[in-house]
Amino acid sequence: MTKINLFENRGFHWYNNDTIFVKGYFFDKDNNLFEKEEMMQFFSDNLSPDYFFKKIKEINGLFSIIIKTPDYTYIASDIARSFPLFYITNNNQLQISDRIDFLKKEVPDYTIDENALEAYLSAGYTLGNKTFIKNIYQVQSCEAIVFKRENIYLRQFYFSYFAENIHSLSYKQIFSKAVFILNSVFFDLIKTLNNRTVVIPLSGGYDSRLIAALLKKYNYENVVCFTFGKKNNPEISNSEKTAKRLNYKWIFIEYSEDLIKNYIEPETFKKYIDYSGKYNSMPFMQDYFSVKYLFDNKIIPADSVFIPGHSGDFLGGSQLLKVIPETIKPTSVSKFILNRKFIFKKLTPRQKSNLFIEIETILSCYNSKQLTIPAYSIFEDFDLKEKISKYILNSCSVFNFFGYEHRIPFWDIRLLSFFKDIPFQYKKGKLLYDDVLVNEYFNPFNLVFEKELQAGLKTIWFQNFKNRLKPFFPRFILNYFLRKNDWKNYEIITAQMLESMKKNKLAYNLKIKNYNEIIIQWYSYYIKGLIQ
């Protein structure tokens, strides 16, 4: 027997008949748009496992799907894991829900998975299909699962970011193809908007600027841009210039003490923490105050659609050199992931060993051809399915929490499929990506500025050199740079979490390298019921 309990209808809504449950939207292989009830028409009520996997591989968008048949239950999630689903088998019964706290009540003697919690404390998210609760699992990025009764019958990742067919075209041809795909993606994106107000969190960088430029290219005028943070945020100048040159409305939301004060006690914040953390990831605080400000002051319509720039630079190759060395070998990827991605908490040798085994297991599940493809590509695939989907893109939950839809155009499967096979020399330093953005989209609208926040190759090499020296810096120097680069006023935001832990007599680490470490610590106590 399968029980399905779905509750979350903020922003996007669930639609269902007796056997099919769908949320989001998608395009099929012929580029037909399916949304709301139409999504159910794409699937038949009596699927075979093979046909289910075939249909899932044909669609492209933001979605979660559950299908019940007499013999099987099917679940699938999009690449971004936009609408997380959780499942548990209990008393010979499969239970599926979008609320992990609901499933937790179905297991009266539940226990915390300490290994999953250790991974979270060190990285900001749990690994694989784990959650903080033993035996309650999450559906992962681009994962499709078939259950026969309460047991997993088949399971596949229907997309990988492995570079298996690196482009052999000339640079000029690759450039032209990148432009064609970007244009196609945004042309189709506009079909899903129905002239609703688009809201762009506009930073000073390239990714959100590209979104604004492409909307203008296709004459989409119903756009509001906003930038947030301290008054001295260096992103303000370029973001304001971008909006004004495109003739879009621009709003600056100052993260002042008045805006942020006493946020931690109200019920709205506690509901947001439950909604966004979901027992597997750090609840993002960065956009919370700005989106709440727009919502509370009714500055944007209730049916607005947010389009953030997550994470266009990943497509371009931002991890190469900045994180992934050019000389990395396939056999050393697991160790490298452990050392570079699990940085928020100092791990014991035993914890490191356990995490290393988990990482090795995850990598072996993705593709049996690991050793025949570029090592940097293995790293990027892991990053996409783990950190970016669970940690970075999970920040989009703030838009849904306040009732808005969102789009993440850089996670269109066409863009991912194209950019994963870009030759290394064109990904290094985001050479091709930045070239396309600047010359094809920014120059025509006069959106190239004298002081850019983009890191060039020299900046990346210098930063890597500084990172090697940082362990030897005195604490007061590290604290100075932490505050100096705190454009979003995270010091004041996290101060209330520190005070909350102090008030509840909970241990916490003050020798932090990143303010997110405080949020991660606080949430781990919150889910254990230790924050009163």
Domain boundaries, the chain: 2-112+129-157, 160-254+301-452
What average pLDDT score do residues 174-201 get? 98
The answer for residues whose C-beta is within 8 angstroms of residue 5's C-beta and 6 or more apart is: 95, 96, 97, 99, 102
Q: Is the pLDDT of residue 220 over 60?
A: yes
pLDDT attached to residue 126: 97
Residue 137 binned pLDDT confidence (cut-offs 50, 70, 90): very high
Q: Is the pLDDT of residue 14 over 60?
A: yes
Could you tell me if 20 and 45 are in contact, meaning their C-beta atoms sit under 8 angstroms apart?
A: yes
What average pLDDT score do residues 208-233 get? 96
Q: For residue 363, which of 393, 341, 392, 343 has the smallest C-alpha distance?
A: 341
What average pLDDT score do residues 434-462 get? 81
Could you tell me if 138 and 86 are in contact, meaning their C-beta atoms sit under 8 angstroms apart?
A: yes
pLDDT attached to residue 531: 92
Q: For residue 77, which of 280, 215, 270, 273 has the smallest C-alpha distance?
A: 280
Q: To the nearest whole percent, how much of the chain has pLDDT over 70?
A: 93
What average pLDDT score do residues 266-271 get? 94
Residue 278 binned pLDDT confidence (cut-offs 50, 70, 90): very high
Is the pLDDT higher at 297 or at 457?
297
pLDDT digits (tens, 9 = 90+) for 382-412: 999 999 999 999 999 999 999 999 999 999 9
pLDDT attached to residue 326: 77
pLDDT attached to residue 330: 82
pLDDT attached to residue 47: 86
Q: For residue 524, which of 116, 160, 79, 20 has the smallest C-alpha distance?
A: 116
Tokens of 243: 């909006």
Q: Categorise residue 61: left if φ over 0, alpha if ψ from -120 to 50, beta otherwise.
A: left
Indicate the pTM of the whole model.
Answer: 0.94
Tokens of 437: 């953005």
Q: Is the pLDDT of residue 182 over 90?
A: yes
pLDDT attached to residue 476: 58
Domain 160-254+301-452, CATH among 1.10.286, 2.60.40, 3.40.50, 3.30.750: 3.40.50
Q: Is the pLDDT of residue 478 over 80?
A: no
pLDDT digits (tens, 9 = 90+) for 22-60: 999 999 999 999 999 999 999 876 789 999 999 999 999
pLDDT digits (tens, 9 = 90+) for 332-378: 899 999 998 999 998 899 999 999 999 999 988 655 555 678 889 99
pLDDT attached to residue 157: 94
pLDDT attached to residue 470: 63
Q: Is the pLDDT of residue 452 over 70?
A: yes
Q: Is the pLDDT of residue 127 over 70?
A: yes
pLDDT attached to residue 429: 85
Q: Is the pLDDT of residue 135 over 70?
A: yes
CA angle 152/524/132 to nearest 5° reads 10
pLDDT digits (tens, 9 = 90+) for 78-103: 999 999 999 999 888 999 999 999 99
Q: Is the pLDDT of residue 113 over 70?
A: yes
Residue 72 binned pLDDT confidence (cut-offs 50, 70, 90): very high
pLDDT attached to residue 109: 83
Other C-beta atoms lying within 10 Å of the C-beta of residue 37 = 12
What average pLDDT score do residues 2-22 get? 95
CA gap 197, 199 in Å, rounded:
6
For 365-372, the CB contacts below 8 A with 24+ separation are: 365/157, 366/157, 366/160, 366/162, 367/160, 367/162, 369/162, 369/164, 370/330, 370/333, 371/330, 371/331
pLDDT attached to residue 371: 60
What average pLDDT score do residues 495-518 get? 92
Polymer length of the chain: 532
Please state the three-class secondary structure of 449-490 as a single string. Answer: CCCCCCCCHHHHHHHHHHHHHHHHCCHHHHHHHHHHCCCCCH
pLDDT attached to residue 106: 86
What average pLDDT score do residues 237-249 get? 97
> Phi and psi at residue 293, in whole multiples of 5°?
-60, -45
Buried b (16+ CB within 10 A) or exposed e, 273-303: bbbbbbbbbbbbbbbbbbbbbbbeeeebeee
